[in-house]
A and B are shown apart, each in its own frame.
Chain A
Amino acid sequence: MKGLKEILKHSANYLTGIAAAPGLTIGNAYVFAKEVLQINNSEITEVDEAVTLFHEALEKSQKELRKIFGFAKEKMGEARAAIFEAHLMILDDPVLIGNITERIKKEKKFPEFIVDDEISKYQQLMFGASEHYMKERALDIEDIKNRIIRNLQKKRWQSKIPLEAIVVSGNLTPADTILFIKSSAVGYITDHGGLTSHAAIIARSLNLPAVVGTHNASEKIIDGDLLVIDGFHGIVFINPDEHQIKYFTEKIKHLFEINEELQGLKDKPAETLDGRKINLLANVDVSGEIDLVITKGAKGIGLFRTEQIIEEIGEFPDEEEQVKIYSKLADRIYPESITIRAFDIGGDKVRQFDLQEANPFLGLRGVRLLLENESLFRIQIRAVLRASIHKNVNFMIPMVSTLQEIKKTKLLIDECKAELHNEKIPFDKHLKVGIMIEVPSAAVMSREYAAEVDFLSIGTNDLIQYLMAVDRGNDYVSDLYQEFHPSVIRTLSHIVIEGKKSKVMVSICGEMAADTLAVPLLVGLGLDSLSVSPSAIPSVKRTIRALDYSKAKKLAEECLNLSSEEEIIKTIEKFFKDNLIQRTRNIL
């Protein structure tokens, strides 16, 4: 079978974007173009009737939005659905409604014209603001405006959304996204947006493929076009030819078979042939992924990235909101446990902090930023403690580089515990606290730092970037980002050995652990647990179950004596071949 690269080389009928949710699907396009409403600005004679009509349209819109609000709460959780509450309030805004009613009476024009004109004024102000989120807010309000106008025209909206279509759109408002869940869309493609856009989040939580940020998919794709979405690589084929269809049909079939086979592993332990048990956990970005975690058979959540909550709801969640989110996850995963990582934010990651730093990656990030913003950190610590009542919650600190940071954080945790104790609020007194090892200084000092905490978790993505002094997003140097560079392997080995001297668990939660090629090496280096994205769990588990720990240890020892990435990769590939271990990743 030809590879994807080969196919792409000989094709022109494809678009690329951000791979926002994994999966492969073939289906027909439904191009969701925002209906351009025709606004009638004629004069009217029956003023009272027009005012009544306007109020009826408001009521109808409220009813619709309440329904969406309920559905969203159920699917997405209260915090993310909160945006609809503000929208509902707009439909009840005394000033807005008063002005519109007044103008209908005075100007004697069609209410739809007045509604459009009046609400657009506010949108103009929002579009004029320099803050990026104000533009998003203006787009959200477009949804409300069109809803009222459509109800004034007594039109049904998008009544004929085909079932099981691939939705193609410029961007999707929260209300749109909910609409498509109802028509069982099979995939999403958008022109704009990133990994945290509404479409991406929903797609991931529903396990549907999505490609976002394609720039012009909604122009290039016509309603009914046959599409292939490759959510692994962020590629969309438009009207694929015979060969492409054959290629992807086979791939989907193959993927299905592998999934079936892997599904059989769901309840089997991640244990080597000679009986070494590895704790195989899941990394979770959004709370919606929890179902996937459970169906894929993870032994718990090894990393919950809380900063994604901020991205999703567009603000810092308050204590109650956080307690709700963390408790829900902890309850769902019980009796297994969840490791909640404190907000890992830096000037480049979250817009709320408009820091101007010349080198954000070397700047105020992770625990450094949290300690600078103590009140924010305290809220999160309290929320994590409050969610820990069933003793299955661990707390993890990102970007630690000094001992001082660990000590300060522990002091804060103790203070929060004392507060909760005084307030008679229950929590787990023995909440386990761990640190991420992703800065070289922390890697070197693993033993001493480990002595202060309950566990270490290695974040390979950042560790490799800092170790190799390379930004992997920078095309000029990204080939220096070498997961299998001997310095990386030796550093991992050092962390495991030193961490164990302080008798703590050492785990790894970076992308490296999801690469089946790395699995024998990581197991051989002595890591206790691997935490990977839910979709990678079955293939990692299969690899662990196919190898001998004693042989993996020898492999690790051998690799520790090599001096180039190339030699190390060759040695591991030979290990796979010699031991007849299949690599599932090759098919993707």
Chain B
Amino acid sequence: MIETTVKIINKAGLHTRPAATIVKIASKYKSEFFISKDGLHINGKSIIGVMTLAAEMGSELHLSFEGVDEQQMNNEICGYIQGGFDEL
């Protein structure tokens, strides 16, 4: 299992479009993927789940990946979030 903490760097926070993109990326992989924030623990492959996260700029998300392709999955998703959702 890989665990990573990432910071949201976008001004607009984790809004609907990047939420959808994260889920789309996650769906390509076989591994399990969970996101925790402020006591909320949600499945990263669930769009409705990710949409319940109110993640403003500067807030931290704890990600965990577990499965055969956990390394690549971690790289791609963390890269997307740390890269500012390709918006910066």
Q: Does B11 lie within 8 Å of A126, measured CB to CB? A: no
CA distance A61 to B20 in the complex (A): 19
Q: For the complex, is B56 an interface residue (Cβ under 8 Å from A)?
A: yes
CB-based nearest B residue for A375: B88
Contact B45 A315 (CB under 8 A): no
Chain A residue with Cβ nearest B84: A375
Cβ–Cβ contact A95 & B43, under 8 A: yes
Q: Are B17 and A82 in contact (CB under 8 A)?
A: yes
Q: Report which of B13, B40, B46, B88 forms a contact with A93, defined as CB distance below 8 A.
A: B46
Interface residues of B in 1-42 (CB under 8 A from A): 10-13, 15-17, 19-20, 23-24, 27, 40
The answer for the CA separation of A450 and B12 in the assembled complex, in Å, is 34
Whether B16 lies near A315 (C-beta < 8 A) is yes
Which chain A residues lie closer than 8 Å to B20 at the CB level?
Answer: 85-86, 89
Residues in chain A near residue B23, CB distance under 8 A: 89
Contact with B along A87-100 (1 / 0, CB 8 A): 00110011110000
- Docked Cα-Cα span, A93 to B46, in Å, equals 5
Known: A86-B20, A89-B20, A376-B11. A94 touches B52 (CB 8 A): no
Residues in chain A near residue B10, CB distance under 8 A: 316
A93 to B16, CA, bound (A): 15
Determine the chain A residues whose CB is within 8 A of the CB of B12 once the complex forms.
315-316, 352
Complex CA gap A504/B23 in Å reads 51
Q: Are B48 and A96 in contact (CB under 8 A)?
A: yes
A24 to chain B, nearest CB (A): 37
Chain B residues numbered 40-81 whose CB sits less than 8 Å from any CB in chain A? 40, 43, 45-49, 51-52, 54, 56-57
Q: Which of A129-137, A457-465, A476-484, A514-522 contacts B (4 or more CB under 8 A)?
A: A129-137
**How far does the alpha carbon of A141 sit from the alpha carbon of B6 in the complex, in Å?**
27
- Find out whether the CB atom of A373 lies under 8 angstroms from the CB atom of B47: no
Given contacts A122-B52, A125-B52, A379-B87, contact A89 B13 (CB under 8 A): no
* Interface pair B46/A316, CB less than 8 Å apart: no
How far apart sit A130 and B54, CA to CA, in the bound complex (Å)?
Answer: 9
Complex formed: what's the CA distance from A379 to B19 in Å?
21
- A86 and B87 in contact (CB under 8 A), knowing A315-B17, A316-B12, A376-B11? no
Interface centre among B10, B20, B24, B47 (most CB of A within 10 A): B47
A353 within 8 A of B: yes
> Are the C-beta atoms of A373 and B48 separated by less than 8 Å?
no
**Bound Cα distance from A315 to B20, whole angstroms:** 14
A368 to B34, CA, bound (A): 39
In the complex the two chains form, what is the Cα distance from A376 to B10 in whole Å? Answer: 10
Q: Give the one of B11, B45, B48, B86 with max A CB within 10 A.
A: B48
Verify A89–B47 contact, CB threshold 8 A.
yes
In the complex, which residues 280-333 of chain A have their Cβ closer than 8 Å to any Cβ of chain B? 314-316, 318
A96 & B52 in contact (Cβ 8 Å cutoff) = no
Assuming the A-B contacts A89-B47, A93-B46, A129-B54, are A318 and B86 also in contact, with contact meaning beta carbons closer than 8 angstroms in the complex? Answer: yes
Cross-chain contact of A131 among B17, B45, B47, B54 (Cβ < 8 A):
B54
Kindly identify which residue among A93, A126, A315 contacts B47, using a CB–CB cutoff of 8 Å: A93
Which of B17, B40, B45, B56 is the one whose CB lies under 8 Å from A94?
B45
Chain B residue at smallest Cβ distance from A94: B45
A90 touches B11 (CB 8 A): no
A134 / chain B contacts, CB cutoff of 8 Å: 54
Contacts of B45 in A (CB 8 A): 94-95
Interface flag for A83 (CB, 8 Å)? yes
Which residues of chain A from 111 to 127 have a CB within 8 Å of any chain B CB?
A: 119, 122, 125-126
CB-CB under 8 A from B57, the residues of chain A are 352
- A352 in complex: contacting residue of B11, B52, B84, CB < 8 Å: B11
Residue of A nearest to B27 (CB): A94
Chain A residues with CB under 8 Å of B48's CB are: 90, 93, 95-96, 119, 122, 141
- Chain B residues with CB under 8 Å of A131's CB are 54, 56
Q: Decide yes or no: A95 and B46 within 8 Å by CB, A125-B40, A352-B11, A373-B11 being known contacts.
A: yes
Verify A86–B11 contact, CB threshold 8 A. no
Residues of A within 8 A of B43 (CB): 95
Q: In the assembled complex, which residues on chain A have CB atoms less than 8 Å from the CB atom of B27?
A: 94
Note all chain B residues with C-beta closer than 8 A to A85. Answer: 20
Q: Are B16 and A86 interface neighbours, CB within 8 A?
A: yes
State how many angstroms separate the Cβ of B38 from the closest Cβ of chain A: 10
**Min CB distance, B9 to chain A, in Å?**
10
Contacts of A315 in B (CB 8 A): 12, 15-17
Report the bound CA distance from A236 to B51 in whole Å.
37
Q: Is the CB of B47 within 8 A of A86?
A: yes
- Which residues of chain A (51-97) have a CB below 8 Å from chain B? 82-83, 85-86, 89-90, 93-96
Write out, one digit per residue, whether chain A residues 371-385 have a CB within 8 A of any chain B CB (1) or not (0).
001011001000000
Decide if A137 touches B51 in the complex (CB within 8 Å).
yes
B49–A126 CB distance below 8 A: no
- Which residues 27-60 of A have a CB within 8 angstroms of B? none
| Interchain CA distance A463-B27 in the complex, whole Å | 52
Which residues of chain A are near B40, meaning CB under 8 Å? Answer: 125
Q: Which residues of B contact A90 (CB under 8 A)?
A: 47-48, 51
Asked if B11 and A316 sit within 8 Å, CB to CB, the answer is yes
- Residues of B within 8 Å of A96, CB to CB, are 46, 48-49
Closest B residue, CB atoms, query A79: B17
23 contacts between A and B (CB under 8 A): A83-B16, A86-B47, A86-B51, A90-B51, A93-B47, A93-B48, A94-B46, A95-B49, A131-B54, A131-B56, A134-B54, A137-B51, A141-B51, A315-B15, A315-B16, A316-B11, A316-B12, A316-B87, A352-B13, A354-B56, A375-B88, A376-B11, A379-B88
- Apart from A96-B46, A125-B40, 5 more pairs, CB < 8 Å: A82-B17, A85-B20, A90-B51, A316-B11, A318-B87
Of all A-B residue pairs in the complex, the 7 with the closest CB atoms, nearest first, are: A95-B46, A129-B54, A89-B47, A315-B15, A315-B12, A125-B52, A375-B88
